[in-house]
């Protein structure tokens, strides 16, 4: 569906307003049901036994004592989840991650599970399971894992993407490369070259709701799964495949979701809960503890990145090059590839080359985290860009404006851009009052840009019009942050009715066609497209019914402002029929009125943001505090601006946490030392200032209203924006994220000593 | 597992002394329940001391204050006399965990948990606080710094309970202060911390001082040399400089997930200096 | 005939070419012909390849037409958060 | 383990239950009494999602034993609204879109209620420090702080 140019000048009736969300009341009164808030009669408590070792061969698992404990109804190991993946390597990895087969590959890797009548019995049962391990050498650092001497995590892995086929196995699963032009020649034309190496530590999405599900498998092969997920249709497919169930017989209902940010795009414990239920013959509720969430569910990659950028004296970048190494946990991933694609996407470059290496380490399987892989690449590139601007003596905003990509620019990842928003966000930053605000002692300002692709994907929506004229909208994309409100606005807009007349729900997998997950910033983009299409299909029927009611040809009926109107002089006496009137008569005019839509929502449209940030650094302790923050981002068209702002603010806050304090800390023994919210430090309320937002609206040519995805891009610039602010506040260039106080203080001291 | 809520200290002592398996005292529960959740302890007996008369009260005595073992830290902040006399101690108590945790946690529990990073302990040590210990063989009063003997270990023997923490009335022209370093603004465990308590004469010369450091060694450190660096002087730049140096030197910290040895040393000095400055001002020094 | 640009790894599988000519009217035909001409690419197509047509990225939309003179760019399929 | 019989008051109602001695009040509320408004985000007092008010004091219900509620007064998010009428804080959270996923919302509402009861006219800084025991991963706190500010203004005038 393309952008409807009629809308560029048109005032929307509903879209762009800020009503209260339909699921709000339940959420403020405690009635909303999340993953752990659902129970089934006779349910058991499921618990998972996890490896305490970073890397170990599983020699034997003795479950006999646990099975004999009174109240234990099922104990399972990998033998109860046999390999049905039929050569699908990616699914095999998912299976092995859910329940280790021959080896435990990280601290927290599941090795067995129990279902018992209550939590304390289940806990006791776990203690009775005896696992014999043979410890293997481990590696958790991405650079260490790449060395020839590193312990091999999987000796069947030979690096893909090399010119010559490797003869020895390696922890590097794949090399990827992007770019165009000739960087060697480009650097030859540069007057200034900045070359830096960076490292970022692993972070977790940090959703407040732990993974939770209730599984019920019947002996006839039908099953129900209640679960907090970003994509219940995808969970259905994966669980059905891993358990050998027919997809249509597994009904998955998505609960309210207490945060996902990419971490709930992947099955972790759900297949285990289903396997337990199958074996026990009773429903099983499985809720991860916070410790398990950190140890065994989706962190992002740790990275090591080298960047080299050259520019002429006039500020034109002549060449840019980056080598990016991303950890993917113990299974193959494509995270460095995405980093390599996004790294230089903001800029117009004649000569650019990026190389990515996917690296296995003994850490949890890497999962997507909001614009996955882009923040680390942007941290490295935008830090180097700032350094280069400094060397050139140019203002960092001007330098970026001079080199910003625009419509017609060949992107660093290949294709040529259509209309894009990087230039406008930079221009907006340049004139933003934040840029001119005075700074105090030990304070510094930084800015940085960010890019993300955004996705569309398979989407299906039902719009049913009740006989009272109210509209129920069933969508298949999980609502992670207010999309039921925005989709209701879109339905109201198309039908020409009030927002309050529409009630949006997220349908279960048996009630609606397949939908891809709510990922890649696609929720509102894709489902709004499907909603528009469904509404237009419903309008066709409404017109037809009105034509019947008037007994005139349907071609003479138009739909305007929620009414059927008979067009032409000859119908002058016919009063317009409201949606409500047509719906009331529907029983006599052909039955229920509904509109359906099944589509692949393509053309999500890339997204850009520019962030500005002020920080204050305590030079005696290295502590940094963000004192002012501004997000400027292109939304295409903001359907519900308040929730668009919310996405901008939330992404920025996550980025701030990542920049300053969040990190996975592993001991020498390869065990995670900070698997809790006490020492995995996500920002608290008193850590942050208000986060100002500026929404730009550069219509996406591929959406009828011009909507772009907005969910992810806002996490991309903060790491670099804060590093650049740190450089200006404390005079140190931090190349290691997070910029925790010990690291900052050490850098300040080194700088002092260097100067002395 | 049994949960018992005795009504007298004698009953509590009797229960604990007579217990055969592992037993735990429950006041605020903010350490105990976390350890139970993590599976680190599975007590056979939990003795909830909150129903014992007097243990949930702060009493003003002839000598100063007696803070019952079950008084939540939030209550310390609501006692204006205590806040006026010992602002540093109250600040420290109100830094533990969150508002929610402060509604439950106690300074006695913070002391008995024997974490090197306990927030209220350096402030109590600087203030010269004492602990009243009730046990099978009667009551005794010991210095607070004598309670923790190593991470997670105390000098209390089986059946002993700390019933109250005693603070003297603050001497004239005195002031205390406590500062800790955490990476966030709230909700963290101290990476390193410093408590300072000073008395000055009418000329602003320091006549008495106690300086204690937290998270700088296996147990709280009372740094005598730091006090010596201050006594007999005004709190000028040179005194502060020496204080910082002595404190940094006195630390025996470790590298861990919360900070490095080097960082803790440097910041211990910085915090001691800043806390001394505040304590001095509170004592009326200029 | 459309000119298709391949990304690095894919180019290696096409005999080191970064651009190939394919007679195809839509994405489905493009994938089929590519797999015929360069069998090494087939497993990648199975795993999922995205096609950028004049800068707009499409995933599995087989029926999407490839307009004459359009810029066709193959990209790895991405994950999102 | 022998169960402990508890008689208590929850949201103004007299409630009796039997619980295990090691069972937290959070588990009792959620699993025995069906009051799932309080959430378990961590179980260790670090996230505030299980916040309740116990005898007028804000606490994490994951750090309270069910047995301890004997004879005490418990307030949860389920008791904030009166019939159809939402508490001002609830209304303001909706109006300001102070929730995205909403999992932290009950804890924030309870903490904010406690904050405003003790300090009816808090500064932004006092709100931020007053709510620092409640983690939110979606909003960046901006809209939560604004909702509390607005609610404080309305409640002062009432």
Quick one: A316 exposed, middle or buried, by C-beta within 10 A (0-12, 13-18, 19+)?
middle
Residues whose CB falls within 8 Å of the CB of residue A297, separated by 6 or more in sequence, listed in order:
A204, A211, A263, A266, A268, A288, A364, A367
For chain A, which residues lie within 8 Å of any Cβ of chain B, measuring from their own Cβ? 123, 291, 620-623, 625, 660-661, 665, 673-674, 677-679, 681, 683-684, 686-687, 740-742, 745-746, 749
Give the separation between CA A207 and CA A290, rounded to whole angstroms: 10
Residues whose CB falls within 8 Å of the CB of residue B246, separated by 6 or more in sequence, listed in order: B223, B225, B226, B229
Question: Which DSSP state fits A666?
Answer: B
Q: Do C55 and A417 touch (CB under 8 A)?
A: yes
Percent of chain D at pLDDT exceeding 90: 97
Coil, helix or strand at residue A149? coil
Tens of pLDDT, residue by residue over B45-92, are: 999 999 999 999 999 999 999 999 999 999 999 999 999 999 999 999
Question: Do the chains contact at C79 and A418, CB–CB below 8 Å?
Answer: no
Nearest to D129 among A32, A258, A686 (CB): A686
List, for residues C24-72, the tens digit of each pLDDT value.
999 999 999 999 989 888 888 887 888 988 888 887 678 888 988 888 9
pLDDT bracket for residue A8 (50, 70, 90): low
Q: Note the pLDDT of residue A161.
A: 87
* D129 close contact with B: CB closer than 8 A: yes
Contact exists between D and C (3 or more beta carbon pairs < 8 Å): no
Element (H, E) at A247: none
What confidence tens digit (pLDDT) does each residue in A701-739 have? 899 999 999 999 999 999 999 999 999 999 999 999 999
pLDDT in tens, B121-161: 999 999 999 999 999 999 999 999 999 999 999 999 999 99
The reply to whether residue C81 touches residue A265, judged by beta carbons under 8 angstroms, is yes
> Residue C61 has what pLDDT?
77
Architecture of domain B2-48+58-168: 2-Layer Sandwich (3.30)
Residues 6+ apart with CB under 8 A from B201: B173, B207
Tokens of B261: 């040895």
Fold of A430-448+605-756: Aldehyde Oxidoreductase; domain 4 (3.30.365)
- Give CA–CA dist A709/A498, Å, rounded: 24
Domain ranges of chain D: 4-79, 88-157
Q: Sort A672 into a burial class: Cβ within 10 Å, 0-12 / 13-18 / 19+.
A: buried
Answer yes or no: is C53 within a domain. yes
User: Which of A19, A21, A29 is best to mutate for the D interface (most D CBs within 10 A)?
Assistant: A29
Of D41, D96, D97, which has the smallest distance from its Cβ to A482's Cβ? D97
A149 Cβ contact list (under 8 Å, min separation 6): none
Domain extents for chain B? Answer: 2-48+58-168, 174-282
User: Of A159, A135, A136, nearest to A359 (Cα)?
Assistant: A159
**Closest residue of chain B to D19, computed from CA coordinates:** B3
In chain D, the DSSP E strands lie at 4-10, 13-19, 51-54, 57-60, 73-75
Whether the CB-CB separation of B273 and B240 falls below 8 Å is answered with yes
The domain made up of D88-157 has a fold known as: DNA polymerase; domain 1 (1.10.150)
Chain D residues whose beta carbon lies within 8 Å of the beta carbon of residue A32: 102
Residues 6+ apart with CB under 8 A from A60: A130, A131, A132
- Residue A225, judged by CB atoms within 10 A of its CB (0-12, 13-18, 19+), counts as buried
Looking at the structure of chain C, the number of domains it has is 1
Cβ-count burial of D118 within 10 angstroms (0-12 exposed, 13-18 middle, 19+ buried)?
middle
Whether residue D46 lies within 8 A of chain B, CB to CB, comes out as yes
Residue A496 C-beta-side C-alpha neighbours within 13 Å: 16
Mean pLDDT of A372-396: 98
Model confidence at A756: pLDDT above 70? no
**Same fold for the pair D4-79 and D88-157:** no
Contacts of B262 (CB under 8 A, 6+ apart): A742, A746
* Residue A307 main-chain phi, psi, to 5 deg: -130, 140
Please tell me the predicted confidence (pLDDT) of residue A552. 96
Q: What's the average model confidence in pLDDT over A222-232?
A: 98
Q: Please tell me if residue C54 touches chain A, with a CB cutoff of 8 Å.
A: yes
Provide the CATH number for the domain around residue C27: 3.10.20.30
Residue A595, chain D, CB below 8 Å: the answer is no
Interchain contact A654–D (C-beta under 8 A): yes
Could you tell me where the DSSP H helices lie in C1-81? 8-13, 27-37, 42-47
Q: At what angle do helices A741-755 and B261-282 cross, to 10 degrees?
A: 90
The verdict on a CB contact (< 8 Å) between D111 and B99 is yes
For position A656, what pLDDT does the model report? Answer: 98
Compute the nearest-CA separation of B221 from chain A (Å).
Answer: 21
Pairing verdict, β D4-10 and B192-200: unpaired
Cβ within 8 Å, pair C76-A337: yes
- The reply to whether residue A414 touches residue C5, judged by beta carbons under 8 angstroms, is yes
Taking residues A186-207, report their average pLDDT.
98
Contact C9 A175 (CB under 8 A): yes
Half-sphere exposure of A731 (CA within 13 A, CB side): 11
Determine whether the interchain pair A415/C73 forms a contact, defined as Cβ–Cβ distance below 8 Å.
yes
Average pLDDT over residues C18-26: 89
> What is the 3-state secondary structure of A54-112?
CCEEEEEEECHHHHHCCCEEEEECHHHCCCCCCCCHHHHHHHHHHCCCCEECCCCCEEE
* Closest-CA residue to A491 (of A482, A481, A501): A501
The values of phi and psi at residue A322, to 5°, are -150, 145
> What ipTM was assigned to the predicted interfaces of this complex?
0.97
User: Cβ separation of B100 and D24 shorter than 8 Å?
Assistant: no
Are C78 and A453 an interchain contact pair (Cβ–Cβ within 8 Å)? yes
Q: Which residue has the tokens 């349908």?
A: A507
CATH of region B174-282: 3.30.390.50
Residue contact D64–B46, C-beta within 8 A: no
Q: Which two tokens stand for residue B74?
A: 């939030």
User: Mean pLDDT over all residues of chain A?
Assistant: 96
Domain interval for residue C16: 2-76
Instruction: Name chain B contacts of A678, Cβ cutoff 8 Å.
Output: 187-189
> Across the interface, do A674 and B189 touch by the CB < 8 Å criterion?
no
Section A367-396 average pLDDT: 98
Of A665, A679, A687, the CB nearest to B185: A687
CB-based contact, D61 to chain B, within 8 Å:
no
Among D1, D43, D86, select the one facing A289 at the smallest CB separation.
D43
How do beta strands B45-48 and B23-26 pair? parallel
- Note whether D44 contacts A24, CB cutoff 8 Å: no
Q: Residue A529 — pLDDT band, cuts 50, 70, 90?
A: very high
| Lookup: tokens for D153 | 């203004």
CATH class of D4-79: alpha beta
Is residue C81 one of the residues assigned to a domain? no
CB contact under 8 A, A649 and D145: no
Residue A684 to residue B181, Cβ atoms within 8 A? no
Contact A285, A39 (CB under 8 A): yes
Q: Do chains B and A touch (3 or more CB pairs under 8 A)?
A: yes
Domain A6-32+456-601, CATH among 1.10.1060.10, 3.30.365.10, 3.90.1150.10, 1.10.8.60: 3.30.365.10
Measured between alpha carbons, how far is A470 from B110 in angstroms, rounded to an integer? 59
Closest Cβ–Cβ partner in D20, D24, D46 for B187: D46
From residue A736, give the alpha-carbon distance in Å to each of A322, A740, A755: 16, 9, 21
- B188: exposed, middle or buried (C-beta count within 10 Å: 0-12, 13-18, 19+)? buried
Best of B100, B113, B183, B186 to disrupt the D interface (most D CBs within 10 Å) is: B100
The shortest C-alpha distance from C4 to chain A (Å) reads: 11
Q: Which helix (H) or strand (E) holds A309?
A: strand A303-311
Mutual orientation of helices A374-392 and A718-730 as an angle, nearest 10°? 40
Question: What is residue A544's three-state secondary structure?
Answer: helix
Closest of B185, B257, B134, D132 to residue A680, by C-alpha: B257
Q: Are A232 and A509 in contact (CB under 8 A)?
A: yes
For the stretch A650-705, pLDDT in tens is 999 999 999 999 999 999 999 999 999 999 999 999 999 999 999 999 999 899 99
- Preceding peptide of A738 cis, ω within 30°: yes
- Residues of chain D predicted below pLDDT 50: none
Per-residue pLDDT of A625-650, as tens digits, reads 999 999 999 999 999 999 999 999 99
Percent of chain A with pLDDT over 90: 94
Q: Provide the shortest C-alpha distance from residue B41 to chain A (in Å).
A: 13
CB A652 within 8 A of CB A631: yes
A662 interfaces chain D, CB cutoff of 8 Å: no
Do the Cβ atoms of A208 and D76 come within 8 Å? no
Q: Which of A267, A224, A268, A229 is nearest to A245 (CA)?
A: A224
Contact B249, B232 (CB under 8 A): no
What is the pLDDT, as a whole number, of residue C80?
A: 74
CA–CA distances in Å: residue A267 to residues A92, A99, A297, B217, B268: 12, 11, 9, 44, 46
- Residue that is written with structure tokens 């004999």 in the block: A68
Q: What is the pLDDT of residues A139-155, one digit of tens each?
A: 999 999 999 999 999 99
CB contact under 8 A, A679 and B257: yes
CA distances from B21 to A198, A518, D23, D96 (A): 53, 52, 19, 54
pLDDT at A6: 65
Which run of H or E residues covers position A144?
helix A142-146
At A657, list the tokens.
């946490």
How many cross-chain Cβ pairs, A to D, lie less than 8 Å apart? 177
Round to whole Å and give the CA distance between A163 and A337. 17
Residue intervals of chain A classified under CATH 3.30.365.10 are 6-32+456-601, 430-448+605-756
């Amino acid at each position: 569906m393309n952008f409807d140019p009629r809308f560029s000048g048109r005032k929307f009736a509903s879209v762009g307003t800020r009503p209260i969300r339909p699921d709000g009341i339940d959420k403020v009164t405690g009635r909303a049901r999340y993953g752990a808030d659902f129970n089934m009669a006779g349910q058991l408590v499921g618990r998972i036994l996890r490896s305490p070792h970073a890397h170990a061969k599983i020699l034997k698992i003795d479950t006999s004592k646990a099975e004999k404990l009174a109240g234990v109804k099922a104990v399972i190991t990998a033998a109860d989840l046999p390999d049905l993946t039929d050569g699908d390597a990616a699914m095999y990895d998912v299976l092995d991650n859910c329940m280790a087969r021959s080896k435990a590959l990280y601290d927290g890797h599941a090795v067995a599970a129990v279902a018992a009548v209550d939590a304390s019995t289940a806990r006791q049962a776990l203690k009775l399971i005896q696992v014999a391990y043979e410890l293997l050498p481990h590696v958790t650092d991405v650079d260490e894992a790449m060395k020839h001497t590193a312990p091999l995590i999987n000796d069947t892995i030979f690096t893909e993407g090399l010119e010559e086929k490797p003869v020895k196995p390696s922890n590097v699963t794949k090399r990827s490369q992007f770019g165009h032009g000739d960087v060697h020649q480009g650097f030859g034309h540069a007057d200034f070259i900045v070359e830096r190496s960076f490292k970022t530590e692993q972070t977790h999405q940090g959703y407040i709701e732990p993974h939770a599900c209730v599984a019920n498998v019947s002996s006839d092969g039908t099953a129900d799964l209640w679960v907090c997920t970003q994509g219940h249709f995808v969970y259905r497919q994966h669980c059905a495949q891993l358990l050998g169930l027919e997809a249509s017989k597994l009904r998955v209902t998505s609960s309210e979701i207490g945060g996902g940010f990419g971490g709930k795009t992947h099955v972790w414990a759900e297949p285990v809960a289903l396997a337990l239920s199958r074996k026990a013959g009773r429903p099983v509720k499985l809720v991860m503890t916070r410790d398990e969430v950190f140890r065994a569910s989706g962190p992002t990659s740790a990275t090591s990145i080298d960047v080299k950028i050259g520019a002429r004296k006039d500020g034109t970048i002549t060449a840019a090059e980056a080598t990016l190494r991303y950890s993917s946990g113990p299974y193959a991933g494509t995270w460095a590839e995405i980093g390599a694609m996004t790294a230089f996407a903001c800029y117009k470059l004649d000569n650019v080359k990026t190389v990515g290496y996917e690296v296995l380490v003994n850490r949890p399987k890497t999962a997507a985290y909001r614009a996955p892989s882009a923040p680390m690449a942007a941290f490295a590139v935008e830090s180097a860009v700032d350094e280069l601007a400094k060397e050139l003596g140019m203002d960092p905003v001007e330098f970026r404006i001079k080199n910003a990509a625009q419509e017609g620019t060949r992107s660093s990842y290949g294709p040529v851009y259509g209309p894009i928003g990087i230039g406008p966000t930079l221009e907006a930053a340049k004139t933003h009052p934040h840029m001119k605000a005075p700074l105090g002692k030990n304070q510094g300002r930084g800015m940085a840009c960010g890019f993300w692709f955004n996705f569309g994907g398979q989407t299906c929506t039902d719009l049913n019009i009740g006989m009272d004229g109210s509209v129920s909208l069933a969508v298949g994309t999980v609502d992670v942050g207010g999309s039921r409100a925005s989709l209701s606005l879109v339905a109201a807009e198309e039908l020409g009715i009030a927002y309050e007349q529409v009630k949006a729900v997220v349908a279960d997998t048996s009630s609606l066609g397949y939908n891809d997950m709510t990922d890649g910033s696609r929720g509102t983009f894709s489902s709004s497209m499907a909603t528009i299409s469904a509404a237009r299909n419903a309008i066709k029927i409404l017109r037809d019914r009105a034509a019947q009611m008037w007994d005139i040809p349907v071609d003479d009926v138009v739909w305007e402002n929620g009414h059927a109107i008979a067009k032409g002089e000859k119908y002058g006496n016919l009063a317009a029929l409201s949606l409500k009137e047509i719906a009331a008569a529907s029983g006599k005019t052909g039955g229920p009125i509904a509109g359906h839509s099944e589509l692949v929502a393509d053309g999500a449209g890339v997204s850009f943001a520019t962030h500005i940030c002020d920080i204050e650094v305590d030079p005696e302790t290295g502590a940094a505090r963000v004192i002012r923050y501004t997000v400027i981002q292109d939304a295409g068209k903001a359907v519900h601006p308040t929730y668009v702002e919310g996405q901008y603010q939330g992404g920025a806050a996550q980025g701030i946490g990542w920049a300053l304090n969040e990190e996975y800390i592993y001991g020498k023994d390869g065990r995670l030392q900070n698997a809790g919210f006490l020492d995995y430090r996500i920002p608290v309320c008193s850590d942050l200032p208000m986060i100002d937002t500026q929404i730009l609206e550069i219509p996406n040519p591929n959406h009828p209203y011009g909507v772009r995805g907005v969910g992810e891009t806002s996490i991309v610039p903060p790491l670099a924006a804060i590093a650049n602010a740190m450089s200006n506040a404390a005079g140190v260039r931090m190349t290691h994220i997070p910029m925790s106080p010990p690291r900052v203080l050490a850098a300040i001291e080194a700088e002092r000593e260097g100067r002395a | 597992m049994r949960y018992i809520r005795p009504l007298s200290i004698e009953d509590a002592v009797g229960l604990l002394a007579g217990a055969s398996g592992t037993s735990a005292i429950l006041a605020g529960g903010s350490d105990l329940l976390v350890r139970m959740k993590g599976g680190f302890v599975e007590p056979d007996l939990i003795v909830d001391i909150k129903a014992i008369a007097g243990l949930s009260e702060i009493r003003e005595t002839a000598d100063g204050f007696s803070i019952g073992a079950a008084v939540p830290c939030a209550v310390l902040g609501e006692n204006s006399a205590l806040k006026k006399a010992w602002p540093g101690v109250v600040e420290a108590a109100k830094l533990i965990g969150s508002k929610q945790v402060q509604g439950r946690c106690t300074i006695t529990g913070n002391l008995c948990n024997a974490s090197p990073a306990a927030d209220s302990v350096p402030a109590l040590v600087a203030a010269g606080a004492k602990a009243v210990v009730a046990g099978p063989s009667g009551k005794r009063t010991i210095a607070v710094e004598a309670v923790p003997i190593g991470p997670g270990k105390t000098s209390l023997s089986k059946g002993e309970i700390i019933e109250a923490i005693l603070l003297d009335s603050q001497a004239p022209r005195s002031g205390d202060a406590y500062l800790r370093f955490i990476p966030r603004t709230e909700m963290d465990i101290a990476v390193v911390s410093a408590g300072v308590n000073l008395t000055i004469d009418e000329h602003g010369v320091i006549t008495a001082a106690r300086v204690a450091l937290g998270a700088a060694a296996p147990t709280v450190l009372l740094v005598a040399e730091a006090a010596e660096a201050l006594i007999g002087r005004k709190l000028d730049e040179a005194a502060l400089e020496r204080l910082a140096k002595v404190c940094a030197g006195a630390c025996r910290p470790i590298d861990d997930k919360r900070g490095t040895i080097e960082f803790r040393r440097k910041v211990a000095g910085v915090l001691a200096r800043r806390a001394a400055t505040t304590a001095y001002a509170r004592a009326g020094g200029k | 005939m459309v000119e298709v640009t391949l990304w690095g790894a894919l180019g290696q599988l096409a005999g080191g070419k970064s651009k190939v000519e394919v007679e195809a009217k839509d994405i489905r035909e493009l994938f089929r012909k590519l797999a015929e001409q360069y069998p090494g690419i087939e497993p990648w197509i199975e795993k999922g390849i995205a096609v950028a047509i004049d800068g707009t990225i499409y995933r599995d939309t087989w029926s999407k037409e490839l307009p004459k003179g359009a810029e066709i760019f193959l990209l790895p399929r991405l994950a999102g958060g | 383990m022998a169960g402990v019989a508890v008689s208590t008051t929850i949201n103004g109602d007299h409630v009796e239950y039997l619980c295990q001695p090691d069972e937290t009040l959070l588990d009792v509320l959620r699993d025995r009494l069906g009051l799932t408004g309080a959430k378990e985000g961590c179980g260790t007092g670090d996230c505030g999602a299980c916040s309740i008010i116990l005898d007028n004091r804000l606490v994490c219900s994951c750090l309270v034993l069910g047995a301890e509620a004997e004879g005490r007064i418990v307030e949860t998010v389920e008791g904030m609204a009166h019939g159809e009428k939402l508490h001002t804080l609830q209304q303001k959270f909706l109006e300001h879109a102070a929730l995205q996923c909403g999992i932290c919302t009950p804890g924030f509402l309870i903490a904010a209620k406690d904050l405003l009861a003790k300090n009816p006219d808090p500064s932004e800084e006092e709100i931020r420090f007053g709510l620092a025991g409640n983690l939110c991963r979606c909003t960046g706190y901006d809209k939560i702080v604004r909702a509390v500010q607005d609610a404080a203004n309305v409640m002062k005038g009432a």
